[in-house]
Structure 1
Amino acid sequence: MTTAPLPLAYGYVRDDLLDDRESDSSDDRLRDTARSLGYELGTVFHEPSPRSATLPPAFVELVQECRRAAAHVVITPRGHMSQMAVCRMVLLEILDVRAATAVYEV
């Protein structure tokens, strides 16, 4: 008996918001969360500290990959889409409109 593959999700992490202990386990935590929600976690996009009012580069790559792979879920630690020059609501709207992607903050 074959089992159907789980739908794909991606992760998004701001490295500047993690301490040394968290950085080692952040990808594993997102992977465990994805599994508990019924998804297979693909790449975790790691963002260095955002510095300008433009869209963060790893975020742009995340949106492009979600579109390419038709993945409709992003899992991120709580607060990792906040405290940037671009407001959180704009980031969530971009993911929704450009990639039809929902965000789970854990």
Structure 2
Amino acid sequence: MTTLLPLAYGYLRDDLLRDPNSSENRLRTVACSLGYALGAVFHEPSPQNGTLPPAFVNLVQECRRAEARTVLTLHGHLSGMAVCRMVLLAILDVRAEVAVQEVEP
């Protein structure tokens, strides 16, 4: 019998990526090493002004829908936006009960 791994999602900001495929592969490798199946990787276009980033909102909704409890992202990809990192982490925690793991590129 095949065991289903717990689901994790990825989050990347495109403005910080040199090679999107390599970055996604890094998240997949980390997910596998941590015992997760990596679902979709949400890509954020250039940071928005003063609003929650749209791909981030979609990520929160999908985590709630799928009951995923982990988001993997590269270090720094939740920083430097109009909405501060601590607010984004709090939204993931409170709205979707998700823990974030930031990994080195």
Which TM-score band applies after superposition, normalised by the shorter structure? over 0.9
| 1:1-106 equivalences in 2 (<5 Å) | 2-19=1-18, 22-106=19-103
Q: Please give the alpha-carbon distance, in whole angstroms, between the structure 1 residues aligned to 2:54 and 2:100.
A: 18
TM-score by length of 2: 0.96
Gapped runs of 5+ residues in structure 2?
Answer: none
What amino acid sits opposite 1:5 in the alignment? L
Structure 1 unaligned runs (5+)? Answer: none
Percentage identity across paired residues of the two chains: 70
Aligned residues: 103
Which portions of structure 1, spanning 4 or more consecutive aligned residues, are displaced by more than 3 angstroms? none
1:23 CA displacement: 1.7
CA-based RMSD = 0.7
Q: CA deviation at 1:14?
A: 0.1
